[in-house]
Structure 1
């Protein structure tokens, strides 16, 4: 009886979150600028309503009673995940939730115009408010959970992950990644490379993206593709909203962005339908979520065999040109060159961008770094990891990401965790199904079936370590990631 009441309560919460997700998507894609203040207030009110739903005084009694009821294993796991969501909600007062939502909406909306204007001075006071509120939230979470402030936020995105595990992981990457970047650049130095000649009409780029999404199995009955300042995958499993951004001079950028977000979307669409309204039916962690987008983008779409399938599609949509030859496209999509922009980075230099952000956001939350000093620290680490100068270039430096604008601190490590998990999944898949190139060339459905069977259908029924161990034979292991990079880029 109590378990049934909890299910009804959390399904109602899901409906509120559904509305919030679609309103947030609209805010980022179609809403006229003049609507932002009203939308920010509406979303903050909705955030408080969701928070109150999770703080309902009845829940404690229902949880206690449900623990005494005879539950099936799936229900017992579902109860555990509802309790985890309840615990997280009770850590913060409703007023702090409202303030953080409002400040985040304002900062994120202002960022859209301040970043193109390279206006750090205009951004700073808005960001300082978000950071101050995020520190308050981290302190409240840390005290209740017995964790450091940063680990208490990391727990939101990567349950069970701690800085003590991330630090040696990134230390290991620092030991071999710079050398690999240098070796690959030296190897590629003499390779011929033709850049596609534009312009490439946005409508044709969108048509190409939609065709590739169909090739990758995206269900358009339950989702759509739009444009935003920063690509993302949002909405809910039944109605997934993908966005990308287009550049008429570069057809390669948006296409890989669409493929990346399609990986997120296929995971969402593949979650168990019967459980989607409950916490146990949601994605396991952001690292697992990123593993799906990076599997699609890096393991699959940048594979030479997949690129050979892309080449004729580019010819069809834009007309033939030498740059669209499969071997040239393969070189384009595997070109390694340190750059300023994370979302445009190749997969070899990408982890360096994440290490930079991890160090900065950890120190911001722990109070070891103030917002006003962010540009200087950014430039120091960009010089150290990628040899690039960002002094005075805030747009392509510390203003380039959307995550911190709404207080999403603790999220960035998920990208590198996702790359590692994706490599583990690819290695396990090849052990079980055979070489990826044969599957990509003929029929990719076994690839998607494997992901559904081993990752998607399990949602949050297992913790991340168990999920990965059962799927791949080990929990978190960077060795397959290193092997993948060395094999693809050094041969």
Structure 2
């Protein structure tokens, strides 16, 4: 565990370098940072695959449940990483650090062709990594395991196939109506950021152990006593800033909420990206976009910005949850968001399998988007270049977003049963009863339990898509046909 604590410290340093690259690093430092990240990743890979770790694991006995969880996580990581050559790990770290900057430039210039050769190399290396990790099994399943241990593509595909008809029906029903207008007015960036900071603290984000910065793509970084988030500002759409912030606060509060006794150990962080996403999505959607909280936020928006072009609290609730045509995943409503994820899941699964080549990816994306959403992608930054994930090698990550929505649906149903007066608190801008429940039921455990066990223990039953679909149907049917 002493060896592990130092390894965890190096992981935190690598995370801070990645945070810096997306927030403050000068553009001209890209090549140097790529070399730095490659060297650091090689060092960490050597520590994590040191034969001494294997010898310790063979002899170690757990004194308690926490010790058993620590050994389980270290053994799982050791078994995976010893299958991946060190030079591949270093090559991936170096390439993806450089690729991230190239993606940002290509996105700004709407030029997928310029980025395609670099992405092709990322995909090639991820295929190699998947093959090494799979040990004869499915390569994409092996990559998913990095983000959601125990979950496979076939199970995810079955879940998504079950959800898709209901999502499509809700989408078509809503879009048959007249599209509701967004808010309007003057939304000064500094006022947005000030309000976002207030909301972050209302949802329990401890700014003495965190900070809020700006980035092209909002994200959360870190764990324990240094957990940072980013947001972004659109002068015409304040919800982009406010709800991105609440979303990332959900991630950050998970990391800040882990039992301090677990800090700097494998158990001392979120157990999986699916469970992590359940926290960000329930903070953002079931709490932040609830009718009760929207009624509170309407008053704060008017205090901050004056007239926002919305007549009353109920109209504001409808505006916050309006379903509309659009291209961007992070700006999608709760229904269409999952359709965005399903599109990415199917494309990246095909990429790793070799059934789809990077040269054909933009066309495949545009064709699938047209089939799922009914209109054409207008430019690459609204399509295949909109997300950072593939540029940094995060294959297998996307499906955990919708899995997180499923988990959030389960948690929300259980939360409502345990805290029946929740809306009274939310209407006063006080999510504390909900966030305290989530901290107790989910966050404090960190990696103590397996992902699905965390949700099952919190909810009293195995996770399924039914609570999410029931919630979405009730909410959006009420908004558009009620």
Shorter-normalised TM range: over 0.9
1:31 correspondence with 2:17: no
Residue correspondence of structure 1 range 81-160 to structure 2 within 5 A: 81-143=73-135, 146-160=136-150
TM-score (norm 1): 0.94
Question: Shift in Å at residue 34 of structure 1?
Answer: 0.6
Q: CA deviation at 1:440?
A: 1.4
Contact persistence 1:340–1:388 (CA under 8 A):
no
Aligned counterpart, 1:11: 5
User: 1:114, CA displacement in angstroms?
Assistant: 0.9
| Cα pair distance change 1:436/1:423, threshold 3 Å | farther
| Cα drift, residue 194 of structure 1 | 4.8
Aligned equivalents of 1:16 and 1:190: distance in 2?
53
8 Å Cα contact 1:198/1:248 also seen in 2: no
Given that residues 283 and 460 in structure 1 are in contact (C-alpha distance below 8 angstroms), is that contact kept between their aligned partners in structure 2?
yes
**8 Å Cα contact 2:185/2:309 also seen in 1:** no
Q: Is the 8 A contact 1:85 1:279 kept in 2?
A: no
Which of 394, 418, 421 is the aligned partner of 2:380? 394
Match among 381, 386, 409 for residue 395 of structure 2: 409
Q: Deviations over 1:63-120 (max 9, x none)?
A: 11113xx612221221111111212221211100010111111111111111010111
Question: Could you report, residue by residue, the CA deviation over 1:342-378 in whole angstroms, capped at 9, with x for unpaired residues?
Answer: 1111111111101100000000001110000101110
- Separation (CA, whole Å) in 1 of partners of 2:7 and 2:431: 36
1:469 CA displacement: 1.2
**416-425 or 457-466, which moves further after superposition?**
457-466
Aligned to 1:426, which of 406, 412, 415? Answer: 412
Map of 2:422 onto structure 1: 436
| Residues paired across the two proteins, number | 477
1:327 to 279, 292, 314: 314
Alpha-carbon distance in structure 2 between the residues aligned to 1:284 and 1:243:
22
Contact 2:130 2:140 in 1 (8 A): yes
In the TM superposition, 1:257-406 aligns within 5 A as 257-323=244-310, 325-390=312-377, 393-406=379-392
In structure 2, the residue matched to 1:4 is none
CA distance, structure 1, for counterparts of residue 385 and residue 357 of structure 2: 15
Counterpart contact for 1:281–1:460, Cα < 8 Å: yes
Distance in 2 between residues matched to 1:165 and 1:250, nearest whole Å: 37
After superposition, what is the alpha-carbon deviation per residue over 1:309-355, rounded to whole angstroms, capped at 9, x for unaligned? 11122122222344273222211111112321111111111111011
Match of 2:48 in 1: 54
SS in 1 for 2:211: strand
- Aligned partners of 2:210 and 2:228 also within 8 Å: yes
Does the 8 A contact of 1:196 with 1:324 survive in 2?
no
Write the mapping of 1:454-465 to structure 2, written as runs, cut at 5 A: 454-465=441-452
Gaps of 5+ in 2: none
User: Matched residues in 2 for 1:77 and 1:22: separation?
Assistant: 26
- Secondary structure of 2:108's aligned partner: coil
Aligned match for 1:41, one of 27, 35, 49: 35
RMSD: 1.5
Partner SS for 1:181: helix
Give the alignment's TM-score, normalised by structure 2.
Answer: 0.96
1:37 aligned counterpart, secondary structure: helix
Q: Retained in 2: the 8 A contact 1:337–1:349?
A: no
Q: 1:51 to 1:311 in 2, by over 3 A?
A: same
CA–CA separation in structure 2 for the residues paired with 1:435 and 1:480: 20
List structure 1 runs of 4+ shifted beyond 4 angstroms: none
Higher mean alpha-carbon deviation, 107-116 vs 442-451, is at 442-451
Equivalents in 2 of 1:84, 1:450: separation in Å? 30
- Which residue does 1:167 correspond to in 2? 157
What is aligned with 1:469?
456
Unaligned runs of 5+ in 1: 1-6
Q: CA deviation at 1:123?
A: 0.2
Q: Which residue of 1 aligns with 2:182?
A: 195
* Contact 1:194–1:322, Cα closer than 8 Å, also in 2: no
Tell me the distance in 1 between the aligned counterparts of 2:473 and 2:11: 42
